Structure 1
Amino acid sequence: MAQLDLLLPEGKIGNYTIQDTVELAKAAEAAEFRTVWKGESYSTNSFMNLSSIATATETINLGTAITNVFTRPPALIAMSAATLDMLSDGRTVLGLGVSTETVIKSWYGQSYERPLRRTREMIEVLQAMFAEETVEYDGEIFDVGPYPVGFDMDRETMPIYNAAMGPTNCRLTGEYADGWLPVYTPPETIRTLYEEEILHGVEAADRDPADVSVTPLVTTSVAETTAAARTQARRSLAQAMAVGYNGHVAQFGFGDAPDEAAAHWRKGNRDAATAAICDPMVDELTVAGTPEECRSRLQELQEQTGADTISVMPPYTATPADIESMLTALEPITST
């Protein structure tokens, strides 16, 4: 048995309606997935989308993956998350991250300064806002309060996950966050970062390792043939490289492939970008194959990484029907 989550698709506006994501979340709940996550690097607002899902589901958790730490002040993130938590009867998981410099500068029009310090302070301020009646915080980035909070949540706090990639950010995660959302990272590296960095932060803060959950976000392509699935996964990786993950992925020994894919994609040559993705990238960064192959690989991946949950990311080209088929294909390992 594997514990799975679903990262709902971004999709260009028009390709996925709000109702599409609501129906996919309902299907994930029926397939016994633990959490549906929603990003917002473009397309729909994650909190508003998840609010629609909250009223149509009963048990599945609702997570942001991710809300970046640059484009909303702590108070707005806290109010949005608390509102979603009240709508969902306490099912919200707040996933934070620095996103990428490309996204923050090009899409949001913000400067990408001191991302790790901003992340640490954001987590600290939010934890105070969720737990205290009055918040007062004097940091290097944020100066808040004293101010009455006024949230009416049914629980004292809310889990906060961090989408850390580098060693320092992973240590920060172990010290301050409730969970870790690694992405585009090989399984062995996830295990190493957890053992050497996450646990270092846990120890520094005198915390219990069980207090930090691990949920890798993994591109997952299920198709009738292995070749078709790998082609979908390859194209998704090419697009991810273009939005700024090439710098992160380049450190894992894939040669020039990440940078070449990013360069071709940004010039509009999608086919060349897809072809630039090497086989080891598909092997290490995705799960791609027939239903049986993907079920086996996801179970293996959870054991390899030591993850509490694997969050499957559908290929960018997947339609709502494709994702529903994927959920059906993977249900045998979530419900056994």
Structure 2
Amino acid sequence: MRLGYPLDYAGDPRAAADGVAALERAGLDVVWVAEAYGFDAPTLMGYLAARTDRVQIAAGILNVYSRTPAAILQTAAGLDNVSQGRAILGLGASGPQVIEGFHGVPYTQPLRRIRETIDVVRAGLRRERLSYTGRTVTLPLPPGTGTGLGKPLKLLTRPVRDRVPIYVAALGEKSVQTTAEIADGWLPFLFAPERANAVWGNALRAGAALRDPSLGALDIAAGGLLYLGDDPVAQQRALDAARPNAALYVGGMGAKNANFYHELVSRYGFAEQADHIQQLYLGGRHRDAAAAVPEELLRMTNLVGDRAQLAERVAAYRNAGVTILNVAPAPGTDPVDQLRQMRELVDGSPG
């Protein structure tokens, strides 16, 4: 099991990146660079490539609307070059608020767009001439559109690898099924390992039945906020630190009737609580919404406890198929020490 670390996209990315080299020495395997609607991810990923030697550098995630598939191809190839083959391309659809509000692009056919973008990126990394006719992507533009001068081109430069791993962020059944069919890895959010099979098992199995064997097994990268220690006060403080983020996603992401995270938490068995959190959050009562997040949900979706408790959590993630355990050390802790202890625990656990 590899250990991943998500950089905080809302803070100072350069300051956060400065600590990644120390985390690498402590046993970090993958660093995830988010984008949302702050700084772009590839710029920071290139900076990380220069500051590290071994850790894989992953986009977590690039949306498939604000860049053309060919631009995403160029980014993947360029990052893989400067990192000497350590890039992971994380893709997703994001949501209508960001895509239409920030980028001014219609949020249409997200699953189809992800699938067709992956097709183009993989063909481009193989340096095939890009000739593609899909529902959301057409290369080159057909006669009668544009100048009519476009022709199929292949990537000008040679990538380090002709196959950069592609992970997809997905939550809904259809999107998870598609991910299990075509992607190298899956990026779920608010992942509760004990509930994963009940919520996503059918979708994962349906996608696996259509999967090209050459892709190998599907990686799953999931985890949460980390506190490894015996102090019950510090444990509670860590759980409380996870509340605002959970409330933001369950209560404030998307429209009231189009919130993927609210739907997920409801499927976990917290429908009444999810409705209450959303009502408070959309009413501007963010602190009350955070306080309303059930502690059971926080414990299920994070890694907080003493060594014995976290050994049980690691086993639960392993049993759910997780191959990259993402950990975000709790505020007020020493992230290098926390990650080092987690590395020892994971390496010493069965499996």
Query: Which band: TM-score by shorter chain?
Result: 0.7 to 0.9
Amino acid aligned to 1:250: S
Match of 2:248 among 222, 239, 244: 239
Inter-CA distance 217–110: structure 2 relative to 1 (3 Å threshold): farther
1:160 is displaced (CA, Å) by 0.5
Match of 1:326 among 330, 333, 338: 338
Inter-CA distance 6–226: structure 2 relative to 1 (3 Å threshold): same
1:78 aligns with 2:73: yes
**SS in structure 2 at match of 1:253:** helix
User: Which has the higher relative contact order, 1 or 2, with Cα contacts under 8 A spaced 6 or more apart?
Assistant: 1
Partner of 2:125: 130
**SS in structure 1 at match of 2:45:** helix
1:49 is displaced (CA, Å) by 0.6
Moved over 4 A (4+): 192-195, 221-224
- Asked if structure 1 preserves the Cα contact closer than 8 Å seen for 2:126 and 2:162, the reply is yes
Partner of 1:304: 319
- Asked if structure 2 preserves the Cα contact closer than 8 Å seen for 1:254 and 1:280, the reply is no
1:97 is displaced (CA, Å) by 1.1
**Range with bigger deviation, 106-115 or 29-38:** 106-115
- Asked if structure 1 preserves the Cα contact closer than 8 Å seen for 2:27 and 2:339, the reply is no
1:159 is displaced (CA, Å) by 0.7
| 1:1-336 alignment, distance < 5 Å | 2-12=1-11, 16-18=12-14, 20-145=15-140, 146-192=152-198, 195-207=201-213, 210-221=216-227, 224=231, 225-241=234-250, 242-244=252-254, 245-290=261-306, 292=307, 295-313=310-328, 318=331, 323-334=335-346, 336=348
Unaligned runs of 5+ in 2: 141-151, 255-260
Length-normalised TM-score, structure 1: 0.87
**SS in structure 2 at match of 1:311:** strand
1:134 is displaced (CA, Å) by 1.4
The 2-side partners of 1:257 and 1:184 are apart by 15
The 2-side partners of 1:67 and 1:142 are apart by 17
The 2-side partners of 1:52 and 1:240 are apart by 29
**Range with bigger deviation, 23-32 or 97-106:** 97-106
Unaligned runs of 5+ in 1: none
Q: CA offsets, 1:167-210, max 9 Å, x none? A: 21122112211111111132134345665323322322442684
Q: CA offsets, 1:135-159, max 9 Å, x none? A: 1111000001322222321222111
1:130 is displaced (CA, Å) by 1.1
Inter-CA distance 58–126: structure 2 relative to 1 (3 Å threshold): same
- Asked if structure 2 preserves the Cα contact closer than 8 Å seen for 1:226 and 1:288, the reply is yes
- Asked if structure 2 preserves the Cα contact closer than 8 Å seen for 1:181 and 1:217, the reply is no
Q: CA offsets, 1:250-297, max 9 Å, x none? A: 23220232243244334442320111111232132222235x366424
- Asked if structure 1 preserves the Cα contact closer than 8 Å seen for 2:90 and 2:166, the reply is yes
1:81 is displaced (CA, Å) by 1.6
Inter-CA distance 77–314: structure 2 relative to 1 (3 Å threshold): farther
Could you say which structure has the larger radius of gyration?
Answer: 2
Inter-CA distance 154–102: structure 2 relative to 1 (3 Å threshold): same
**SS in structure 1 at match of 2:264:** helix
Inter-CA distance 288–262: structure 2 relative to 1 (3 Å threshold): farther
The 2-side partners of 1:86 and 1:137 are apart by 25
